Amino acid sequence: MDFALTQKASEICRQAEDFVNSHLVDLEKAVLAEGWEAIQPRLAEVREKARQTGLFTPHMSKGHGGGGLTLLEQAHLSEVLGQNLLGHVAFNFAAPDVGNMELLHAFGSPEQQERFLKPLAAGKIRSTFLMTEPEHAGSNPVWMSTKAELQGDEWVLNGHKWFATAADGADFCVIMAITDPEEENRYARASMFVFPTDVEGLKLVRNVSVMGHEGSGWMSHGELTLENVRVPKDSLLGPRRGGFKLAQTRLGPGRIHHATRWVGVCKRALRMMCERSAQRELSPGKPLAQQQTIQEWIAESRAEIEAARLMVLQAAWKIEQHGEFREDVSLIKFFVAGVLQRVLDRAIQVHGALGMTDDTPLAFWYSHERGSRIYDGPDEVHKYVVARSVLGEYGVKVKR
């Protein structure tokens, strides 16, 4: 395995860095100071400029209006974009749109791809993904109450979902619901659907307040109810009873996107930590950087970031080469999320009171990325997956 940057990847990273420095640095300051809604006109202009780079929607093929990057190239790009709050949004590379595009590309009918995938890949509309329910543990994705019943030529959906990222303002949703509750195989009870969010009976109850912030648009997590939502029979995405399989297909590469973004956040936080410790003086002529504790934090952060980065690149390489990802994705999911939390915590501590303000992005990341150890499977589930695999080699059957 050779993770050295190819000439193409080097150019991609250089181009992305130039774009971030030229167009996103000031916009990041604006969103922290003014809020998400206030920057929408400027963000739209920046997204149009990003489209001209050829890297817009980098994860989709050129035939679908994307940049046509390999998974490894996407990982390198994501690391650069992750160093700015708006990097992924600017390049149409943000969740949940990325995962929904990949689902529609792999499983969508020609009609679904034309209606939903094409404008989503072009950055003209937004989407959301409805899976988690407040009544059930999100760590058990086969346990849900939202049901879809086929009545004639229509599916009728009833249920309750929350933490639907970016539901506020989304044009369509991808949703997981139980279609075959009597199926003996519990992994074959659910199916996935795709339909517009303006259907009768689908209601956005609220944007869930997370760590004191309700958010809006991309930066929101909605709670929704479905009351006798009727959609056409062809709203089924992929095969009936295939919901769990589609979810796993969506979440595998999706965790690569998350983890590379986290590495980018860590690199920015480390850079800020070093700059602050070099500039901030405890007393005249005695910068924080002279303190051994600070030096240890910097060294530990650098080591952990490098380890996390190589682990993520290895997982991306394995997926590209062999299509295998379960254990490797679980490894990066809990390990990189842990590194992210530790590096951010150290960076805030070095910044002191400034680190808790919105004068820097550290507080935003610290509050919003605490969820990294929960969403897409909590740490405990991923550690179980890894332990089960390792202990299986010794003849031990690990049971949940």
Given a cut of 70, whether residue 324 has pLDDT beyond it is: no
CATH hierarchy code of domain 7-94: 1.10.540.10
pLDDT at 250: 74
Apex 369 CA angle, 386 and 197, nearest 5: 100
CATH topology of domain 127-239: Butyryl-CoA Dehydrogenase, subunit A; domain 2 (2.40.110)
pLDDT at 215: 85
Distances (CA, A) of 365 to 187, 330, 342, 344: 35, 22, 12, 8
DSSP conformation class of 168? T
pLDDT at 106: 93
Per cent of the chain over pLDDT 70 is 98
Residues of the chain with CATH 1.20.140.10: 245-392
DSSP conformation class of 135? T
pLDDT band at 252 (very low <50, low <70, confident <90, very high): low
Which of 135-139, 223-227, 283-287, 311-315 has the weakest average pLDDT? 135-139
* Residue 302 or residue 212, greater confidence: 302
* Residue 3 or residue 186, greater confidence: 186
Per-residue pLDDT reduced to its tens digit, 343-383: 999 999 999 999 999 999 999 999 999 999 998 889 999 99
Residues of the chain with CATH 2.40.110.10: 127-239
pLDDT at 140: 83
Distances (CA, A) of 39 to 25, 26, 92, 114, 276: 13, 11, 16, 30, 28
pLDDT at 129: 97
Across the chain, mean pLDDT equals 94
Assess contact for 186 and 142: CB atoms under 8 A: yes
pLDDT at 377: 86
pLDDT at 170: 98
Angstrom distance (rounded) from CA 181 to CA 241? 10
- pLDDT average, residue stretch 244-260: 83
Given a cut of 90, whether residue 254 has pLDDT beyond it is: no
pLDDT at 60: 95
Per-residue pLDDT reduced to its tens digit, 42-83: 999 999 999 999 999 999 999 998 999 999 999 999 999 999
Q: Read off the pTM.
A: 0.94
| Residue 371 CA neighbour count, 13 Å, CB half | 15
Given a cut of 80, whether residue 325 has pLDDT beyond it is: no
CATH superfamily for 245-392 is Butyryl-CoA Dehydrogenase, subunit A, domain 3 (1.20.140.10)
- pLDDT average, residue stretch 143-151: 96
Given a cut of 80, whether residue 288 has pLDDT beyond it is: yes
Given a cut of 80, whether residue 139 has pLDDT beyond it is: no
